[in-house]
Amino acid sequence: MSGVSPLEEEVAKLIVQTLNLKIDPVQIQPEQLLFGKGLGLDSIDALELSLAISQSYGYHIRSDDPEITATLASLRSLCTSIQKNRTK
């Protein structure tokens, strides 16, 4: 993965492993949308991913957070939120 941070590489691997995606983590571009026409994730994926992030980084993504859509928009936005809020 060129042009991505170590955390972005790590979280891309976490996404692929957690959701059993049939892609190589390097295929997830930092600004690519994670949901809808981007990577194609759905609300169940969001729940699974949120749990994995909580376990790995101590960051609890709350469904009632008004910024949740922006947080989960892309790999880069997710990693930015993890960096700001992680406890592990």
Give the pLDDT mean for 54-82: 95
> Is residue 1 over pLDDT 60?
no
The pLDDT value given to residue 13:
98
Express as a percent the part of the chain with pLDDT over 90. Answer: 92
The pLDDT value given to residue 86:
95
Residue 29 one-letter amino acid = Q
Q: Judge contact between 68 and 61, C-beta under 8 A.
A: yes
The pLDDT value given to residue 55:
97
Q: Which two tokens stand for residue 43?
A: 């609300």
What pTM does this model have? 0.92
Average per-residue pLDDT for the chain: 94
In order of their start, the domains of the chain are 6-85 (1.10.1200.10)
